[in-house]
Amino acid sequence: MPLEKQFGVFKILAPLGAGGMGEVYRAHDTRLGREVAIKVLPKEFAADADRLRRFEQEAKTLATLNHPNIMTVFAVGQHEGAPYLVSELLEGQTLRDALKNGPLTPRKAIEYALQVAQGLAAAHGKSVIHRDLKPENLFVTQEGRVKILDFGLAKLKESPKSQIPNPKSIDADAPTVVASVANESTEPGRVMGTPGYMAPEQVRGAATDQRTDIFAFGAVLYEMLAGQRAFKRGTSVETMHAILTEEPPDLSESNSNLPPALNRILQRCLEKKPERRFQTASDLAFALENLSGSTSATARALSGKATARWLSSERLAWATAVLLLTLIALVVVSRRREPPVAQPQLRLSIAPPAESHIDDFVLSPDGRYLAFTTLTSNKRLLMIRTLASDETRVVPEVEDALEPFWSPDSRYVGFYEGLIAGAAHAQGRTQCAQRMIRFHGFNALVAVAHVVETMPNVFFRMSRWWRNWRFSRSS
């Protein structure tokens, strides 16, 4: 069809596709100022009674349906002998194109399947059976909404009260079509539907009802999860034979991420006997909706696991900080409330021996003794004062004591005598450095550490001694 052709108030802009049911174009509605899709049955097909009847049937069927998951029809008409149908323009891709990138995740498959089931439930509620549900007839918009297309093979049920016909009856009024395995399009032939998606009753030419769409729904869901058809064989005959006699591979064996509940829904949809499938699309949608809620919650929990761990750690850190601050505040408040305790003051006087003065002194760790050295004209004595009394003792056999220091248990006082480290008991006994390691509570490690700490002073005293010695020799 040439572009810029006018169909009443609709101006053709560009071709969108073509199939057994006609050609589809993008068009502009000059009256309402919107873009639409126009399906046109070419003139050469208008003389085909079967095609014309199916085209008119699709228009009438879609006109009775109004649901977010079913393509909306705006108008029908005829121009120069060519019937046309005006519908909403959908931006996105068919499910077939979406599956070219591989299978969908269970979460995404459930999301799409739920929308398809809800659309089918709306159609079945109007006594409309699709009978040709397949990925090519499902359109996914850019917003993620799924639309059911192409009701060319749809039929109206005779009566809402007889939704489940006699399985032995023959659907004589239904047009007979067969799908080409090569292009998977619906073409005229002997069997109504598309091989790979037909229910067993369709393959046999038996009566069809809403459960026929549920089987096709199962085949589509299987393909969404597996990335390949449930019944794919080399020829149409082999495919239809597999539908009648074989079971598709169990996806739970190859997909460990498949929820068991979803696998049970899938297997129930693909039951050979209609009475063992879901009896209505509403029941199917209800099952998927429940599964969608639990799966979404699980997905959210899994996707937020690291975040939850981080939040838990953060909450723990904050709780710990608050607890510590609370404890600190309590301690500060309690201390402020306690009356100040008067610290005892110790005043004492030390009288050094005649003609001497105190050089170094150090208090014992337990506060009971004071060790100090007194410097006379030719001696540096080590003395220990008991603070509980006025008793002062001179450590015997020590005449050049330097830098006294206490053991941690206050039992011994260490000192230097010339260049040799020594130790004295608090009670006055003197030991040489070589025997310190046997003292209780005052080991060699303490002595060595103190020696290292005071090493610069030792070197200073050695240099002073060397200088004095040289001076005395030169004299």
CA 313 to chain centre: 16
Residue 199 CA to residue 273 CA, distance in Å, equals 9
Six-digit token pair at 77? Answer: 């008409």
**Length, in residues, of the chain:** 475
Residue 114 CA to residue 104 CA, distance in Å, equals 14
Q: At what angle do helices 281-303 and 106-125 cross, to 10 degrees?
A: 160
| Catalytic machinery residues | 132
Beta carbons within 8 Å of 361's beta carbon, 6+ residues apart: 370, 371, 372, 373, 404
**Which neighbouring-strand residues pair with 177?**
188
Residue 472 CA to residue 199 CA, distance in Å, equals 125
Residue 382 CA to residue 402 CA, distance in Å, equals 8
Six-digit token pair at 439? Answer: 């003292």
**Farthest-apart Cα atoms in the chain, separation:** 146
